[in-house]
Chains A and B, each alone.
Chain A
């Protein structure tokens, strides 16, 4: 029927235009041109990269069952007994060729040990850094990525393996890594968020009875954290982002602030929390140091013992469990 056909075509067109208009209005209001302009200006006028006085050249700690070195942002070198795992490697001097690091990376890539696995939580520029993967290409044989990411990655010498939510990678040495749900946004450049809308994940690493949670980048999603706890009830450590926090109205949909990170830590039931994703780049309205200060304030309000939260400086390594402790 011609009328029905025309009506159907018009309906399709109206739906398309409505969706696109909605997306534009949403992204303009959510991202906020003012916010982007402020962050860009702060980056252009911000301080140069601060050098670290002492950087580890040998991160292996023979006395440790579990140790963590915060390299900066979401990059953490984890030691679980005799093996190492690196999260969201970021060693480049700038982010997106625009945002300069506030502090240099906490370890040079050439000083990294052999890695059992590299974990990539999603495709955003501060988590999937192609230049950084070049720097560590010879250090690992596998990188785990969320579903939908592999087809957007260039080829490397190491294997790139996608993990669907709740699926695991098990290595021959007993290392097991499971993709766990978090709440964030997919895509790489902002404009492409709708193309791979679920291409983000958290991970739980298991080795020799140790369990470590890596949240990547996540908003507050109580159901996701509770579901992870139901499956992994013995988490020793949770790496949780605490920034960007401001503007909260915008960030709350995609990022944990300090208070929410502590709430997530409680829901996950981990013994220790290691805050990440702060004071490395300017990507929000937060002043350097403000997220860490707010975290300390929230810890006091919650009467949380200081030992429960390993608030490291960039380049600092901490033994979280000694070899004889368990």
Chain B
């Protein structure tokens, strides 16, 4: 119970975003859940669901993720929500990914309240046990969020 509560709280911590649209720069926040992850770097139990230890993820893995995202300050669109679902692969660089790892992935997004659906690609580097990362998401067809830079803050 206690572990579940702590896990739930860590999932609520958002990652801050810098959103670059075609005609504006804004801010935002992103959350992320991992319904399924296959770790090819871990010694035991390669399949994980939601409750994913940093070592399982950053020692080498492929994850299915769901990601609600909120952005603000676009002209004529004060704020907006978007959800993503995607696949991402993590690869370790130093000390099984605890010191440095990177990821590459793709996602399908749906902007709530509009008909904007499409694909995005992302690339990221992580350090400090995977807890901190620098994330770039490119969505060339989404004019309000062509590029998103994110300070990825994540545990589990």
Q: Looking at the complex, which of A55-63, A71-79, A147-155, A296-304 is the stretch in contact with chain B?
A: A147-155
Please judge, given known A-B contacts A20-B9, A189-B129, whether A131 and B95 are in contact too, CB under 8 Å: yes
Q: How far is the CA of A17 from the CA of B98 in the complex (A)?
A: 31
In the complex, which range does the number of interface residues on chain A fall in?
20 to 34
Pick the residue among B1, B96, B128, B155 that contacts A191 (CB under 8 A): B155
Shortest beta-carbon distance from B80 to chain A in Å? 30
Q: How far is the CA of A192 from the CA of B3 in the complex (A)?
A: 7
* CB-based contact B55/A152 at 8 Å: yes
Shortest beta-carbon distance from A290 to chain B in Å? 30
* CB-based contact B5/A151 at 8 Å: no
Pick the residue among B3, B8, B45, B95 that contacts A130 (CB under 8 A): B95
Pick the residue among B6, B10, B59, B99 that contacts A154 (CB under 8 A): B59
* CB-based contact B96/A130 at 8 Å: yes
B41 interface contact, C-beta 8 A: yes
Closest-by-CB residue of A relative to B48 is: A151
Q: A96 contacts which chain B residues (CB < 8 A)?
A: 129
Q: A151 contacts which chain B residues (CB < 8 A)?
A: 42-45, 53, 56
Closest-by-CB residue of A relative to B10 is: A191
B127 interface contact, C-beta 8 A: yes
Q: How far is the CA of A164 from the CA of B8 in the complex (A)?
A: 29
B2 interface contact, C-beta 8 A: yes
**Which interface residue of B4, B10, B55, B94 has the most chain A CB atoms within 10 A?**
B55
Interface size of B by CB at 8 A reads: 31
Q: A130 contacts which chain B residues (CB < 8 A)?
A: 55, 95-96, 98
A23 interface contact, C-beta 8 A: yes
Q: How far is the CA of A149 from the CA of B5 in the complex (A)?
A: 21
Q: B54 contacts which chain A residues (CB < 8 A)?
A: 189
Shortest beta-carbon distance from B151 to chain A in Å? 17
Please judge, given known A-B contacts A154-B41, A189-B129, A191-B6, whether A16 and B98 are in contact too, CB under 8 Å: no
Q: Within B1-41, which residues are at the interface with A (CB < 8 Å)?
A: 1-10, 41
Q: How far is the CA of A15 from the CA of B5 in the complex (A)?
A: 10
Apart from the given pairs A19-B1, A195-B53, 18 other A-B contacts in the complex at a CB distance below 8 Å: A15-B1, A16-B4, A20-B8, A130-B98, A152-B53, A152-B55, A152-B56, A153-B44, A154-B55, A154-B96, A155-B43, A156-B43, A188-B55, A189-B54, A191-B10, A194-B2, A195-B3, A195-B6
Between A and B, 26 residue pairs with Cβ closer than 8 Å are A19-B1, A19-B5, A20-B6, A20-B9, A23-B6, A130-B96, A130-B98, A150-B43, A150-B44, A151-B42, A151-B56, A152-B55, A153-B44, A154-B55, A154-B92, A155-B41, A155-B42, A155-B43, A160-B43, A189-B54, A189-B155, A192-B53, A192-B156, A194-B3, A194-B6, A195-B3
